[in-house]
Chains A and B, each alone.
Chain A
């Protein structure tokens, strides 16, 4: 069965510090992987996606993620947090050939001065 696990429901960092949000997946077929961001009372916005090209994927707002097949991971990073990065972040997997996205439980990122 396909699933997504996000380690840490809440992450708090200082402004300017490294952001690391963890995501592990399970999939019986090569997956497509995604990170979405959700601001309060908004829908989800795509940050970046992995579609079996480069394993290091760059997204919007300075975020990037690395696909590691051996670790079944797709962690999201940003070198320097900004106050505007405070939001809910969702990792999602779409197994190849399937139409449905499977979401993780989300990680709420707080950025403090």
Chain B
């Protein structure tokens, strides 16, 4: 069973507020990812990390930022939320390429609504 947790599950917040979406995993995975998914749509990679102090932008441009100070923790921050940020955010983790376990494990997601 995957051990990756996201909080909160649901968040409704006003425009201009700063928010942080939390993601933690207890599997010791080096690789972590944030995906953005609009309702009924595909997943877009917005950030990823290959280890502590490593962060990269994903394929979809995002105004959010991430940090990776600890292996198990990969929070995503929006400095000033806007209605265009309304979406579902999915966190995932995986073992390094070349290992036998190749899949990514996903959290339950955070559904963000900015009003």
Contact = CB atoms under 8 A, between A and B. Distances in A.
Contacts of A101: 33, 45, 92, 94, 104
Nearest to A94: B102
Tell which of B33, B48, B104 has the most Cβ of chain A within 10 Å. B104
Given A49-B102, A100-B48, A108 B40 contact: yes
Nearest to A41: B111
B63 interface: no
Contact of B103 (A34, A88, A104): A34
Interface in A78-106: 88, 90, 94, 96-101, 103-106
Contact of B42 (A41, A43, A104): A104
Nearest to B91: A43
Interface string A39-83: 001111110010100000000000000000000000000000000
A104 B104 CA distance: 15
Given A100-B48, A103-B43, A105-B42, A43 B106 contact: yes
A94 B45 CA distance: 13
B50 A99 contact: yes
Contacts of A100: 33, 45, 48
Interface residues of B, number: 27
Tell which of B6, B43, B48 has the most Cβ of chain A within 10 Å. B43
A28 to B, nearest CB: 15
A45 B106 contact: yes
Contact of B96 (A46, A99, A103, A105): A99
Complex A-B, nearest 4 residue pairs according to Cβ-Cβ distance, in ascending order? A43-B106, A105-B42, A44-B106, A32-B102
17 contacts: A42-B108, A43-B109, A44-B43, A44-B92, A46-B105, A49-B103, A90-B42, A94-B97, A98-B97, A99-B94, A99-B96, A99-B97, A100-B33, A101-B33, A101-B94, A104-B42, A106-B40
Given A43-B108, A90-B43, 5 more contacts: A45-B106, A51-B102, A88-B40, A105-B42, A106-B41
